[in-house]
A = this chain, B = another copy of it.
Amino acid sequence: MPRRILLLIFCLSLSVPGFCQQTDTGSIKKLYDHIMLRGDAYENLRHLCKQIGPRLSGSDNAEKAVIATAAMLKKAGADTVYLQPCMVPHWVRGAKEAGNIQLSNGNKISLHLCALGNSIGTHAAGVLAAVIEVKSMETLHLLGRSAVQGKIVFFNIPMNSLYLNTFQAYGESGIGRWDGPAQAAKYGAVGVLVRSLASNEDDYPHTGSTTYNDSFPPIPAVAISTKDATLLSNLLQKDKALSVWFKTNCQMLADKPSFNVIGEIRGTEYPDEIITVGGHLDSWDLGEGAHDDGAGCVQSIEVINAFHQTGLRPKRTIRAVMFMNEENGGRGGDAYLAFAQSHHEKHVFALESDEGGFTPRFFSFDVSSSSFNRLAEWKPLLYPYGVYDFVQNGSGSDIEPLKAMGTSLAALHPDSQRYFDVHHAASDRFESVSRRELLLGAANIAALIYLVSEHGL
């Protein structure tokens, strides 16, 4: 009996992941070699960034991206490519914003700013008011109405540079952006400035979603660059009576129809068991959405491409999903769950890549501890390709709704040091992505998806 067949019988007799190590090692190397030598992810990303550009939900570009990625999935060799409808919010920035610091001596200093996503525009004359700076939400509450009424609240909460994982700093300092306008409105503020959630000091303002509280009138809100935030804070030390003026032209229009884009390779043995690998197709409107999250989209398409080109047939169905509207609504993720539930789909595993196209470092999971222990056996298979750790620590916002179905969830965590230099800013351009780093992410995702498709969880 040839050695190959002996090995096959040996493998089939085992249900514990990690035991078919020789076959797995070979298949993973095939996927890796294909992606690093002939992967399309980088050129697909160039297309998304340079031929289409910013892809905010509801925009014409978002619809162009739907069509383009459906074509990419077909070209990648998906058995089935289809669009899954969802209604999305349609926020538009309008004409470019303007703003300045007006010192007591009459001098004016221009600000680098942009409206926060989902925020309302100012009146035609803009907002002009004195500024009260706060370094935490607690300070705002302590100051209360007497100090805040009629003023612009300036949330100056820098990202904590001590966290190795910059997402931890983002999670902590982000409160000013996502809850600041709602909280400031409660105390009668007339506008909000937010220090950009950025890990570097430069002139780019970084946008991102904010929310309002229905009990209070919404107020206009802008992000200013980190350099301007430092400047304004320093000026406020010397000139407490300075004012800030800004004008935004954004508005929320009626919801629009849009789509998740889906491409599948049907599983050979358990076709009803679905493995999702995805990123989000929408991006903010200022940059090209290269790292956030063109990278996750083209990596997911690359998984389909790599299976197809290497001739590896997955046992379970692999589905690449370009989720729509992660940035300012999450409607794509919600629609994906709703469809899965109403069609009684069986979702065994879902993985999201939404932390940029940087060199992969680890995978996080949101799975049972028994599943995690089984997954951990695969770590040595990925180590040669750059992923060195698995942790139990959540997944991604588009796939998180699937938790309601008991799906095992995961996320790729690439090196996070540069992500918040460009996140939600005009600097999130194709040129900020390294081809090798992007492809390495795709290769490690493909390897994990392969292992789940072979062995289940």
- The complex places the Cα of A32 from the Cα of B162 at a distance, in Å, of 8
Q: Chain B residues with Cβ under 8 A from A164's Cβ?
A: 384-386, 440
| Chain A to chain B contacts (Cβ below 8 Å), 10 pairs | A32-B162, A36-B161, A37-B161, A37-B162, A164-B386, A166-B436, A359-B359, A359-B415, A417-B440, A418-B436
Interface: A302 (CB within 8 A): no
Given contacts A359-B359, A388-B388, 13 further A-B contacts (CB under 8 A): A36-B162, A161-B436, A164-B384, A164-B385, A164-B386, A359-B415, A359-B417, A388-B389, A417-B434, A417-B436, A417-B437, A418-B434, A418-B436
A334 to chain B, nearest CB (A): 35
Interface: A199 (CB within 8 A): yes
Complex partner residue of A437 from B37, B418, B435, CB under 8 angstroms: B418
Which residues of chain A in 385-443 are interfacial with respect to chain B, using CB atoms and an 8 Å cutoff? Answer: 385-386, 388-389, 415, 417-418, 421, 434-437, 440
- The complex places the Cα of A297 from the Cα of B96 at a distance, in Å, of 43
Interface: A33 (CB within 8 A): yes
Chain A residues at the B interface, C-beta cutoff of 8 Å = 32-33, 36-37, 161-162, 164, 166, 199-200, 359, 384-386, 388-389, 415, 417-418, 421, 434-437, 440
**Residue among A161, A164, A389 facing the most chain B CB atoms (10 A cut-off):** A164
A88 to chain B, nearest CB (A): 34
A364 to chain B, nearest CB (A): 15
Q: Chain B residues with Cβ under 8 A from A437's Cβ?
A: 417-418
Closest to A418 in B: B434
A387 to chain B, nearest CB (A): 11
Complex partner residue of A436 from B37, B199, B389, CB under 8 angstroms: B199
Using known A-B contacts A388-B389, A389-B388, A417-B440, determine if residue A435 contacts B200 with beta carbons closer than 8 Å: yes
A40 to chain B, nearest CB (A): 15
- The complex places the Cα of A161 from the Cα of B415 at a distance, in Å, of 20
Q: Chain B residues with Cβ under 8 A from A435's Cβ?
A: 200
- The complex places the Cα of A117 from the Cα of B37 at a distance, in Å, of 31
- The complex places the Cα of A435 from the Cα of B421 at a distance, in Å, of 10
Q: Chain B residues with Cβ under 8 A from A436's Cβ?
A: 161, 166, 199-200, 417-418
Q: Chain B residues with Cβ under 8 A from A417's Cβ?
A: 359, 434, 436-437, 440
Closest to A439 in B: B161
- The complex places the Cα of A33 from the Cα of B164 at a distance, in Å, of 11
Q: Chain B residues with Cβ under 8 A from A359's Cβ?
A: 359, 415, 417
Complex partner residue of A421 from B33, B162, B388, B434, CB under 8 angstroms: B434
- The complex places the Cα of A435 from the Cα of B69 at a distance, in Å, of 35
Q: Chain B residues with Cβ under 8 A from A166's Cβ?
A: 436
Q: Which 7 A-B pairs have the closest CB atoms?
A: A417-B436, A417-B437, A359-B415, A36-B161, A418-B434, A388-B388, A359-B417
- The complex places the Cα of A440 from the Cα of B384 at a distance, in Å, of 23
A278 to chain B, nearest CB (A): 24
Whether the Cβ atoms of A162 and B33 lie closer than 8 Å is yes
Q: Chain B residues with Cβ under 8 A from A384's Cβ?
A: 164
- The complex places the Cα of A297 from the Cα of B216 at a distance, in Å, of 55
